[in-house]
Structure 1
Amino acid sequence: MVVHSLFASTFRRMFPTMKLSVSGCDSDALYYILLDVVPVDNKRYRYIYNKSSWLTAGKAEPAPRNRLYMHPDSPFTGEQLLKQVISFEKAKLTNNEVDKTGHLILNSMHKYQPRIHIVKRPRDSPIEQLKIEKNPFAKGFRDPSGRSPEYDL
């Protein structure tokens, strides 16, 4: 993927859209799907219209901070991942380095490689259980019925 123009508005959607199918998941586990982009090389490019080609135009600018874009439907169950195609059609790109809206930050006229990260969330980890036990506002998590007996009508 080459980011080939300055962004006229504050963001652009990625084209072509990133889509993936996942296999080999535990159907009961929860998974987060994340996307990021990394520079392919340390070069800057320019497009030659009359030749319809890209040429090296010098050394790359310093890479912006790497940002992960979490799929808006995350977390997925393993069963959901096995049944559907995951699309990153809502992922947006920007060259604004002070962007605070979660868009992927890129430099114009540089080549990038998209990467997908699939992170399995452990269920009921010891730390999560400790947080629930110590949090005075987590009564609904401690009581299996979801309601404390003193509030029954």
Structure 2
Amino acid sequence: MSPRYRPQVHLHDVQLWDSFSAAQTEMIVTKTGRRMFPGYRVKMSGMDPNAQYCVLMDISSVDKNRYKFQHGKWVIAGRGEPHIPQRFYLHPNSPCTGQQWMKDIVSFHKVKLTNSCGNCGDGKFLVHSMHRYQPRVHIVRTDDVNTLHLQPMSTFAFPQTFFTTVTAYQNGKIAKLKISNNPYARGFRED
């Protein structure tokens, strides 16, 4: 990569993510797959406007522990399940020029979390319930998706986006935040 160009990724909706992070973010995981909320959206800068880039996402384990929600906070409950090697989700706009990537907010709204092996792929990440994960964005300068693994990769992660996976919300604060902020949760709101 040219020293003149250094891709940067900036988290969108930072205040929303910060409010969830302060309450210890939980993400629902289902057999069929559940979308993340807050949604993972980023703004990019520092790219060569004329070069082609591929943008990818993965979700990595934060540690090797299993957690439980006890007395209002998440605590370690023992050794976790074996780490699941994650596939990368290639953003559907890839490859695209740096100019195009930097023009708009890049959304990973199609990404889903599943706890069933049979439902992996197509933007679904296999995760274990009651474990912690960190979404990451990767930028590769290439116009050929088949050579991604041969090219240098820039990786970006944001501390406020790590979360604990659950099959039902454990923390009432998280449930309230999701109902207040998620437009798809309006059926749970009281008028």
- 1:23 is matched with 45
- 1:101 is matched with 121
Q: Is the 8 A contact 2:114 2:125 kept in 1?
A: yes
Question: Structure 1 segments of 4 or more deviating over 6 A?
Answer: none
Q: Is the 8 A contact 1:3 1:111 kept in 2?
A: no
Find the aligned partners of 2:120 and 2:68 in 1 and give their Cα distance. 28
Q: In structure 1, which of residues 92, 99, 104 is the aligned counterpart of residue 112 of structure 2? A: 92
Task: Kindly state the Cα deviation for residue 40 of structure 1 after the two structures are TM-superposed.
Answer: 0.8
Find the aligned partners of 2:44 and 2:27 in 1 and give their Cα distance. 30
Find the aligned partners of 1:24 and 1:60 in 2 and give their Cα distance. 38
- 1:53 is matched with 73
Task: Kindly state the Cα deviation for residue 27 of structure 1 after the two structures are TM-superposed.
Answer: 1.0
Find the aligned partners of 2:47 and 2:28 in 1 and give their Cα distance. 38
Task: Give % identity.
Answer: 41
Q: Is the 8 A contact 2:96 2:143 kept in 1?
A: no
Does the C-alpha gap of structure 1 residues 15 and 97 become closer, same or farther in structure 2, counting only changes over 3 Å? same
Find the aligned partners of 1:11 and 1:64 in 2 and give their Cα distance. 16
Residue identity matched to 1:107: H
Residue identity matched to 1:110: H
Q: In structure 1, which of residues 105, 113, 135 is the aligned counterpart of residue 134 of structure 2? A: 113
Task: Kindly state the Cα deviation for residue 21 of structure 1 after the two structures are TM-superposed.
Answer: 1.1
Residue identity matched to 2:41: K
Query: Unpaired runs of 5+ in structure 2?
Result: 1-23, 145-191
- TM-score of the aligned structures, taking structure 1 as reference length: 0.70
Q: In structure 1, which of residues 40, 55, 60 is the aligned counterpart of residue 62 of structure 2? A: 40
Q: Deviations over 1:36-95 (max 9, x none)?
A: 0111111100123xx321121110100112111111222221111121111111111111
Q: Is the 8 A contact 1:95 1:105 kept in 2?
A: yes
CA RMSD in angstroms comes to 2.1
